[in-house]
Amino acid sequence: MFDGVHLGHRAVLGEAVGWARAMKGEAVVLTFDPHPAAVIRGLKVSLLCTLARRLELIGRQGVDTAVVLRFDKVLAGQAAEAFLSSTLSGIGLKGLVLGYDSHFGHDREGDLATARRLGPDLGFETRAVEAVPVGGKPVSSRRVRAALEAGDLEDARACLGRPWALEGIVVKGDGRGRTLGFPTANLDVGDLILPKTGVYAGAVTLEGKVFKAAMNVGVRPTVGGVPAPLAEVYVAGWSGDLYGKPLSVDLVRRLRDERRFETLEALKAQIARDLEALQGL
């Protein structure tokens, strides 16, 4: 999947690019969409980044080509050997790079040993990339998701090698932020994960300029509440229209928990203090 394109993914990509350059070939990445767990087990998978963002991040690693393979029930039912021979044969493949814990084929039956066994007959060599440790533990997409669910931006950033960004399309809200004096952009984040509820400090790039931003993730208990957490972003110093536009917020610090205030004036005072905290970024 390469969800998040974390440091472990980047190690795999780096090995592929370096090997391709040495062979005077092309570095090609194969990635899936949608997430296999959503197809096989019918689960809602909270992704770390959109497909477009994933491809952008993969491209930054020097990859020549990315192939997005649609994951469906037919593909899920393919045996490991059939997957390798039907998907990878006939394209001039000379080298296959896998992560240490990579699996493929029906029921994840294929692994590094499978690829090494079948490779000679299919005309390619296989290399493995070991786990990348951060803080004594391997980096993984699951670890990054767990960090975000706990509000631990520091561990997420350490695993990704960059601040984690929440992306979405700006949609119309109820205008409550504007009446409080702090107009916010409401984000429809689709299948992306939302971090632990609370208030976050971050940054937004608009029209080539970086703006400091404060984001609230939560159910807005002071103003009536909503059934499920929402992401609302206040972009300091921005006054333009963002409706219908994509917005990406780099989150750099969790400021506080979301809580209910007894009055709107108390809420406004706290928002002002939250915005003062942005000055130290």
Rounded to 5°, angle at Cα 166 from 160 and 170? 160
| Residue 2 and residue 29 in contact, taking contact as beta carbons nearer than 8 Å | yes
Q: How confident is the model at residue 178, as a pLDDT?
A: 64
Helix, coil or strand: residue 241:
coil
Report the chain (281 residues): mean pLDDT per 10 consecutive residues: 97 98 96 93 91 96 95 93 83 91 92 95 94 97 97 98 96 70 88 96 92 91 74 90 93 91 82 82 73
The answer for 123, left when phi > 0, alpha when psi is -120 to 50, beta otherwise, is left
Q: What is the DSSP string of 84-145?
A: IIIIITTTT--EEEEETT--BSGGG-B-HHHHHHHHHHHT-EEEEE---EETTEE--HHHHH
- How far apart, in Å, are the Cα atoms of 86 and each of 75, 79, 220? 11, 10, 51
Q: How confident is the model at residue 270, as a pLDDT?
A: 81
| Residue 59 and residue 204 in contact, taking contact as beta carbons nearer than 8 Å | no
* Chain-centroid distance, C-alpha 229: 18
Helix, coil or strand: residue 235:
strand
The 10s digit of each residue's pLDDT in 156-193 is: 999 999 999 999 999 987 666 666 667 889 999 999 99
